[in-house]
Structure 1
């Protein structure tokens, strides 16, 4: 018996030992081998159940599961029920939170939360969307075919509120996107020459005037929009004002295509692509329709404070801008954001060059604007709750809240419309990364990184900025969902070497969380002792401290070679205490450390989580301070970790791929080898939204593009380069790799290779592709850094 037990133990030990030998094939297989983590967490309307996507059975895709708070039961939800639950989760409540309004399969539904009764408001083949409550919650308003309709909760009567029409006949002058002097002149000439035309025009004008005077009271005003695109239709709480935005696409904007070579048909297909940075921009206009006066007027933005300000970079082009007359910059208007009473409306106006954000009070009766707050950034407006997906709204009918980077970090502010004063609710060298206003408007719930840039926690703070309390307590990262009654929070939580699990906790300080799921790590995954890299800071040459993760090998395995991993996305954080979205790279870094490499992963300049100055550290020079940070990291490895300066490699994807190219092209004496995955090789060929923020436009700031594009420095390649790129990449096009290939050929370089992946987009999905790519990376480092 003892012998048999011993043999079992030995067998298990061998099994565990076998599991600890990482290979590229193992870590790059279908991620289901790791385990399953919950996602898309939300609550039932009665706050008794938590719903989440999960896949404990390793099916093709996730299913929706529910967790019942009391008995702590997990149950799989049917597909049809899950669709309805998701629809209700995206619904809106009335003021008293007794009714829930939602869209399901293109129709509008109203649920009485006390009785559970559901009223189907629409049942049509057309799609109804964007439901909301109107006129003290007595009406339901929604969109159909880009027109507003209202349904009376009391009587069941439906009214059409707007009638937008495409016709350009007799269209207002503002609908003409380009001034054309020829056509009006020809029209006037015709009327002067042709008496019959003149008489017919006069008769039509008289008929239109008569019709206008004798119009039925329930006849809707035609709001002519021409061929412009209608956007952002909203209505004031009292139903009087309808606001909307018109967009005129550019006339001469050329789109790219992405060839798809491996298709079912056997023929090459062309995937429609995007424009390139600097392509002509469309024009936006913002209008108010006053229903009580049956009138439409444009909200003019050509005189808002600073609208003609030129950016600082123009000083580098004195001949181009010396005598240029200031003109109003193009803007687009978001909102309005109405208070509950409908007495105040605030709009969020952004300049198209993204250097200004104006919060302005809109007088809907006149279309006039009044400045509340101007945020100017000579780089670009951004940061949590400030850039895209801005968080703002009303605490009460007088107090408005918003976020700003005025201090250099994204913080929470209020503006009092009565006293016209601003107040900072939070402050310090940290970011408010998420926020929720309590339903009684007494508290904000905040997710911040105030304890450490790489640690998050959930807080409660009064709306006057007092009595701040920390609710969560574990070190790591949180993705929090607040229950409708605000008594509970459900959150995904993870740690550096532990993937996401679901927890439920009472929404108050000092309460203990209950772990709901336990499937994020499979037995095979747990068999390996995944490293917990140490988080450190590295001194940069300009005096800043750069946060880094370091993976150190066992002392007897250290080979005095090092690899630096560069995260992608530019504005992204990877040096933190939660499970990385780069989980494959995390596992690969473990493999490298097992082989004796020292691995470093830094949050270089432009990474998120560190405030405005860090975020904009690459403005007008990608491959400047961000590369310097990596050079300083290499010096740290040499001086502090005993790494051979001639045996340092670098790799990364997307922005990390771009950085790898710049490192090898501009710092060839620092980096011996590099793997550039799906890299941008020339920023003039990337998209507008991302690139123009950082480098402006190629024809307005050619200096920035000249010094930021790797293709311009390819002659500096001395060491070993691997390029890997998906051929159907609709983000960073394969054309980038092709153009760089031609440049390297013409330069006579022979120490590089290109690995194309015919069926992969920007983010690879096939395990075979991941495996091939990382086997090549490992071979590159083993062949160049270990010799």
Structure 2
């Protein structure tokens, strides 16, 4: 890999003034040109050092670095030094020893002395280390079972004996002949009596073992044991009957194509999870009952429209998240979701009584989601105990924006802890004294939006204190073990991610940058912080966008819309974009005289529940209308020629580009669609089922949302670009649409394929070829 530390060709660096165009090939070399930002950072156990992975020399692979708080400098660790590093584990904050498992070894380190001890070494694997309330007891999992280690005595005890499937019962032969043998022969009767005696003797032991428990499934989640070591819970999954897709690799080591299984497609088949409680004292296994959850059998509104029967005959399938144990009571919190993601229940599990109590019910006729809540069924939301066994915090979109709430069990009372208008809370962490919540949040109003800020909320008086140095750009924060210092991973729109350190003080401390990752070539260019503007949509909602305006003397009156991917993602912001190559490409377009608009269309992240769900049952509807409205706004207010507006984007952005050209012909002069979904019935279940339900139950939603049904409308120049080993939006998508174009006799479209690329391109030559084609398309049709 070349170390690109040469100056930019065609850039005048005098006073950082740009005097010529950027070089496309250099931009598309990615981190070779920009530099490699630090990643995967952590505190040392004593809080005196920061560890992070970094590759400032642009070699193959990153190295572990150590930054000393005392010396205020970093050093690159050797492989042997790196292998002995222990990262601070907040879950073991209150223990003198911190336990880890690695390569079949259970080991620990004393936080005060740094001394290490190996407790178990085995080839069978050790994982899922948990701590009991007693500091001398450590829990770990081997295979399907949980064991406890007594640190003082060194003894190890098996706590569970779970088995897959159902217990096989031996059928007793009760035929006439067997009964006759017992009746007639003393020998048979004596033999049976001896057999019964010895069997009973064999079951008697000087040692107690947990009896075999059959969980009725072939696999289950990691086993969670409560701090008292009296109870364990596990989640079992009944998998949906779904056929996996496959991806073919064409460029391989041996010259033969390679067949690779991939994800399922969206369908009405839903997996179902159950939770099993194991009471160790009684040595009994109990399936917890969730059948009393509010509206557990209620059909969603779109089905009730045409069905007089509003209830299913059976409970809806569920996704059950990992529990949050109380430390001193037999209680656990659990986040439960319906598999159709219309409902969320937060429940309290009383493990002593094996009971389930519903605490909070959230319902959304579109789908449950939002920052700190998650729209992915198996991704945990923010939820934790405040006062042990008495109160806890969680997040909800009840106000229309995701913020943090407290629930007090004894009072049965829910309180919004931070009722700030038009603000989304992303992360919540409780202080070690449990008196404060640290929040990462995103304001949603013009002039404030596009920043990921940090502050502290007092649980005693609900006074919120924003941290002065952590309000601009993106501020991702990790507290030190003693909470006196902060690691801040920070970026700006025109400055990539770097690590900073700051004292845990809201206003008086200094934010010190500890890494410098960008190359001289990147630094030589004057990158802009694009203005974030507000555009009024036709339905009255304000839409936010980044705008890249060319200089007056080079402005050519043409515009290019960039459509970010994912749908649920924010890109009209003031921090370093995940689309950083596109960010640089927009500078190149800007230099050529184009005005570039990067729109956070409806469905984008960071603007509340109604914004998030505006595409429910019609992708390519309200979201696409936002681009039409934005185009009209640009024509009216920025001097853009309505006949010279192009569009490009990848993934969901490619989908929107296709929908623009196929459902609104002649609205946009041309489009480039990268790794695009062309038929939502062929995309994955987890994402698509939230928004369009299933193709079997809501076929009209799929028909009006899928570009392939509008192929006959193609009139404007289109180029499609797709990786052939894409296991996300698979190559089949673009192949099927291409076949439709061929059968319809469509002209002025092109397909570029990339044999070694998946959904996210890796090779710089692929990036360059892709964006060369996009640039040529715009230059040909917009100038």
Same fold, TM exceeding 0.5?
Answer: yes
Structure 1 residue 297 corresponds to structure 2 residue 286 = yes
Q: Does 1:418 align with 2:407?
A: no
Query: Where does residue 382 of structure 2 map in the other structure?
Result: 391
Equivalent residue, structure 1, for 2:185: none
Q: Is the 8 A contact 2:643 2:668 kept in 1?
A: yes
Q: CA deviation at 1:227?
A: 4.9
**Per-residue deviation, 1:365:** 2.6
Determine if contact 1:462/1:468 at 8 Å carries over to the other structure.
yes
Query: In the alignment, is the contact (CA less than 8 A) between 1:490 and 1:503 conserved in 2?
Result: yes
Give 1:229's aligned residue: 219
Secondary structure, counterpart of 2:441 in structure 1: strand
| 1:496-535 deviations in Å (ceiling 9; x for gaps) | 1111121111111113434334533322112222222111
Match in the other structure for 1:541? 538
Q: 2-side partners of 1:410 and 1:613: how far apart?
A: 11
Matched, 1:88 2:79: no
User: Residue 366 of structure 2 corresponds to which residue in structure 1?
Assistant: 379
Q: Is the Cα–Cα contact under 8 Å of residues 16 and 526 in structure 2 kept in the other structure?
A: no
Q: Does 1:529 align with 2:526?
A: yes
Matched, 1:76 2:65: no
Measure, in 1, the Cα distance between the counterparts of 2:14 and 2:113.
Answer: 61
CA deviations 1:534-583 (Å, max 9, x no partner) are 11000001000001011111111111110000000111110111011100
**Maintained 8 Å contact 1:253/1:279:** no
Does the 8 Å contact 1:41/1:491 carry over to 2?
no
Q: Distance between the aligned counterparts of 1:56 and 1:264, measured in 2?
A: 31
* 1:715 pairs with one of 706, 712, 715: 712
- Provide the C-alpha distance between the structure 1 equivalents of 2:181 and 2:126, rounded to a whole number of angstroms: 45
**2:12–2:20 Cα contact (<8 Å) kept:** no
3-state SS of the aligned residue for 2:596?
A: strand
- 8 Å Cα contact 1:355-1:378 kept in structure 2: yes
Q: What are the ranges of 5 or more consecutive residues in structure 2 without an aligned counterpart?
A: 1-9, 183-187
Question: Partners of 1:649 and 1:601 in 2: how far apart?
Answer: 12
1:405 to 397, 416, 420: 397
Question: Partner residue of 1:50?
Answer: 50
SS at the partner of 1:335?
Answer: coil
Question: Equivalent residues in 2 for 1:189-588 (5 A)?
Answer: 210=200, 214=204, 218-250=208-240, 252-278=241-267, 280-318=269-307, 322=309, 325-387=312-374, 388-397=379-388, 398-428=390-420, 429-450=422-443, 452-464=448-460, 466-473=462-469, 474-517=471-514, 519-588=516-585
C-alpha spacing 1:88/1:15, structure 2 compared with 1 (3 Å): closer
Partner secondary structure for residue 263 of structure 2: coil
CA distance in 1 between partners of 2:434 and 2:121 (Å): 36
| Residue in structure 2 matched with residue 4 of structure 1 by the alignment | none
- Contact between 1:91 and 1:102, CA under 8 Å: does it hold in 2? no
Contact 2:529 2:574 in 1 (8 A): no
Residues 293 and 18 (structure 1 numbering): CA distance in 2 closer, same or farther, change over 3 Å? closer
Q: Which residue of 2 aligns with 1:124?
A: 122
Quote how far apart the aligned CAs of 1:32 are: 2.0
User: How far apart are the structure 2 equivalents of 1:12 and 1:610?
Assistant: 40
Other-structure match for 2:134 = 136
Structure 1 residues 18 and 538: alpha-carbon distance in aligned structure 2, compared to 1, 3 A threshold = closer
Change beyond 3 A, Cα 1:136–1:420: farther
Does 1:619 find its partner at 2:609?
A: no
TM-score (norm. length: structure 2): 0.92
**Inter-partner Cα distance in structure 2 for 1:208 and 1:311:** 59
1:230-267 deviation digits (Å, cap 9, x = unpaired): 213111111111111222334x4211110111111111
Tell me which residue corresponds to 2:748.
Answer: 751
Deviation at 1:703, TM superposition (A): 1.4
What is the CA–CA distance in structure 2 between the aligned matches of 1:196 and 1:624, rounded to whole Å?
Answer: 76
Q: Distance in 1 between matches of 2:163 and 2:19?
A: 66
SS of equivalent to 1:273:
strand
Structure 1 residue 192: deviation in Å?
A: 6.9
How many residue pairs match? The answer is 756
Question: Which of 152, 155, 167 is the aligned partner of 1:154?
Answer: 152
Whether the aligned pair in 1 keeps the contact of 2:543 and 2:626 (CA below 8 Å) is: yes
Asked if the contact 2:722–2:753 (Cα under 8 Å) also holds between the matched residues in 1, the reply is yes
Residues 1:36 and 2:25 are matched in the alignment: no
Shift of 1:401: 1.5
1:229 counterpart SS class: coil
Q: Distance in 2 between matches of 1:641 and 1:191?
A: 91
Q: Alpha-carbon deviations, 1:43-90, whole Å to 9, x = none?
A: 1111111111212222112211111112211101122433443x5345
User: Does the CA contact (< 8 Å) of 1:171 and 1:224 recur in 2?
Assistant: no
In the TM superposition, residue 602 of structure 1 has moved relative to its aligned partner by: 0.8
Alpha-carbon distance in 2 for matches of 1:323, 1:512? 59
* Residues 744-768 of structure 1 deviation map (CA, whole Å, 9 limit, x = unaligned): 1111101100000001000001111
Q: 1:206 deviation in Å?
A: 7.2
Contact 1:288-1:298 at 8 Å conserved across structures: yes
The unaligned stretches of length 5 or more in structure 1 are: 1-9, 173-186
The alignment's TM-score, normalised by the length of structure 1, stands at: 0.91
Structure-2 change in CA distance of 1:607 and 1:106 (3 Å): farther
CA distance in 2, matches of 1:294, 1:357: 31
Specify the alignment match of 1:178 in structure 2: none
* 2:30–2:581 contact (8 Å) kept in structure 1: no
